[in-house]
Amino acid sequence: MRPYKRTRADSCKETRADSYKETRADSCKGTRADSKCFLTTGILGTSNGMTNVDTAELIKHSPRDRFFQRYENDVDKYGFNLASYAGGEKFIRFLYKKWFGVQIAGLENIPAKGSGVLFGNHSGALPFDGCLLYDGIVNYNPDPRRVRFLVTKFLLDAPVVGKFLSGFGAIPADYEVTTERLREKELLCIYPEAEKGTGKLFKDRYKLVEFHTGFVRAAIETGSPLIPIVTIGGDEIYPLLGNIKPLAKLLHAPYFPVTPFFPWLPFPLSIIPLPVKIMMCIWRPFKLKYPSEVANDADLAAEIASDIQSDIQAKVNDLLEIRTSPFSKWDMDKVNAYLENTKSYSPNMEKHRYQ
């Protein structure tokens, strides 16, 4: 395993190991002369090499400013709007920076334009993982863009929560909506475990359940790249001890969670998550080689989804080996070294991958 290369330690004390937690000035120093800026080891560089952060001009707008400018005139039929996003942003920012201390490796692998399917493991009883990823993209990616999360009808129809999620850009978990958005060159995040992932019992944490094939079919049908993400920490924020199925059925919910705190403690104490340190690892995009006509080949989609699930499970296991404690900050030097030395796909995927 190649060692992670730490550069410019004298002029940038925080590296990508600190989850891109730069201040506006720290994260935006550099020139835009060749317009190909990228984040590497936590400081901004150009296609000609590392920017001289001591003399570079400050970029006028932070990533968040550019995100708001990008969508300031956007009218969205699914409910996304900047006012709603800004309304919930402070809460998500608090969770990201203070409560969970989120760290992200590979944020530069999010494509700046075009369609794409982010996918990975899903957990947490209350699915904060998607919102935390989104917050990282908006605040620390040099070219932030909207992420469309597929959300169940139960959550979209829920009072307050549904409006919050729609305002953030969530869309119904519907295949036709998914392919429509991908054809419009949007970035989607699909968790193939769906509710079975977030509803896993604590004893089954980090054991992936069967991936549904919709994300594979949508990627093939629209020619969109797949972008793997692994999240560690979410399985422990709400230790799920049981599921009261009769109550879940009565409420038309996918599950009714029982944790050490819910439903025993009064609200809001019952829904406060444990402050587990969350890390997300994002690999480079890759494309499948098949024409859109085979998107409905159930056997092919199932084979690909199964191979991808096995690869994500292996990555989860490897990253758990790197972690020292659920409540300690990650050694991101080790995480970044792991990211650099692993491919986005398993050897079994070579036969399916576009060369």
Pairing of strands 242-243, 226-232: unpaired
Q: Which domains does the chain have, with CATH numbers?
A: 65-238+273-349 (3.40.1130)
Sign of the CA dihedral running 20, 26, 27, 33: negative
pLDDT at position 317 = 97
pLDDT at position 52 = 32
- Is the pLDDT reported for residue 179 higher than 50? yes
Who's near 95: CB < 8 A, 6+ residues apart? 102, 128, 131, 132
- Is the pLDDT reported for residue 29 higher than 90? no
Lowest mean pLDDT among 32-46, 186-200, 211-225: 32-46
pLDDT at position 6 = 45
Q: What is the mean pLDDT of residues 22-38?
A: 37
Tokens of 309: 């699930």
Tell me the pLDDT band of 15, cut-offs 50, 70 and 90.
very low
Q: What is the mean pLDDT of residues 317-343?
A: 97
- Is the pLDDT reported for residue 219 higher than 70? yes
Distance CA 240, CA 251 (A): 18
Per residue in 320-330, pLDDT (tens digit) is 999 999 999 99
CA atoms in the 13 A half-sphere facing the CB of 153: 4
- For the whole model, what pTM was predicted? 0.80
- Is the pLDDT reported for residue 46 higher than 60? no
Lowest mean pLDDT among 84-93, 196-205, 314-323: 196-205
- Is the pLDDT reported for residue 172 higher than 70? yes
Who's near 146: CB < 8 A, 6+ residues apart? 67, 70, 71, 80, 169, 186, 187
- Is the pLDDT reported for residue 45 higher than 70? no
pLDDT at position 277 = 97
Per residue in 78-115, pLDDT (tens digit) is 999 999 899 889 999 999 999 999 999 999 999 999 99
**Considering the chain, what is the average pLDDT of its residues?**
83
Sign of the CA dihedral running 226, 106, 212, 175: negative
pLDDT at position 47 = 35
Percent of the chain at pLDDT > 90 equals 60
Q: What is the mean pLDDT of residues 54-76?
A: 76
Tokens of 28: 């935006």
- Is the pLDDT reported for residue 249 higher than 80? yes
- Is the pLDDT reported for residue 225 higher than 80? yes
pLDDT at position 60 = 57
Q: Which of 238, 232, 233, 236 is nearest to 312 (CA)?
A: 232
Tell me the pLDDT band of 332, cut-offs 50, 70 and 90.
very high
**Cα distances (angstroms) measured from residue 14 to each of 25, 280, 303:** 13, 18, 42
SS (H, E, C) the chain: CCCCCCCCCCCCCCCHHHCCCCCHHHHCECCCCCCCCEEECCEEEECCEECCCCCCCECCCCHHHHHHHHCCCCCCCCCCCHHHHHHHHHHHHHHHHHHCCCEEECHHHCCCCCCEEEEECCCCCCCCHHHHHHHHHHHHCCCCCCEEEEECHHHHCCCCHHHHHHHHCCEECCHHHHHHHHHCCCEEEECCCHHHHHCCCHHHCCCCCCCCCHHHHHHHHHCCCEEEEEEECHHHCCCCCEECHHHHHHCCCCCCEECCCCCCCCCCHHHCCCCCCCEEEECCCECECCCHHHCCCHHHHHHHHHHHHHHHHHHHHHHHHHCCCCCCCCCHHHHHHHHHCCCCCCHHHCCCECC
Find the distance separating the first CA and the last CA of the chain, reported in whole Å: 25
- Is the pLDDT reported for residue 226 higher than 60? yes
